[in-house]
Structure 1
Amino acid sequence: MQNSMYIFKKDDGINKFYKNDQPLLTPMGRPVTTAFDALAKRLKEHLNKYGEDPGDPVSIVAFHYAMIDFFAVMPREELEDNIRIGLSREEDWTFSAYP
């Protein structure tokens, strides 16, 4: 791997991220990881280009950090219910047009 501020290393099939040789953590203190090699490469590119601000909508860390902090720790039943609501035309209002 090239020398850069943000790197990842594969450990037991999981790509683990580091900043200056220290584990990279989400805003809630969880390690930044992914099992997907292609995603790990893109995350590294975006981290080195945009930094680790999860409020930056241009960087994919905005989505990945939220997934780690809020969805990966959610019980499966609750996650499935949230997805069901999100896909329901009757229960989800986020894509509705307002007069």
Structure 2
Amino acid sequence: MPDGRYVLGTDTVNVTNGVCRDSEGRLAGSTLTQEIALKNFLEWTDWAFEEALLGLTLNPARALKLERKGALEPGADADIAILDTRFRVMKTFVGGRMVFDRS
């Protein structure tokens, strides 16, 4: 998340150098993105990529009973981020349509 001011619920927060703080200077959440969370998890554990990926996709979708989320299969929403080997988001698809292309 780039530095700047953002609305978080009913509050305005400031992000500076990747740290999110409220107007009184208290920590106000995280700027950690899912792809970096996945990268960190894989570096800090001995889990296989496929197992770790389920923790960001299918497992939370099932826990929240979001039947059209978390998997690429017929009838699903077809939301997906394509990462390179350095975990940079290269393309993003929402509802099967490309909404971001780094190239």
Regarding TM over 0.5, the answer is: no
* Higher normalized helix content (fraction of residues): 1
TM-score, reference length from structure 2 = 0.25
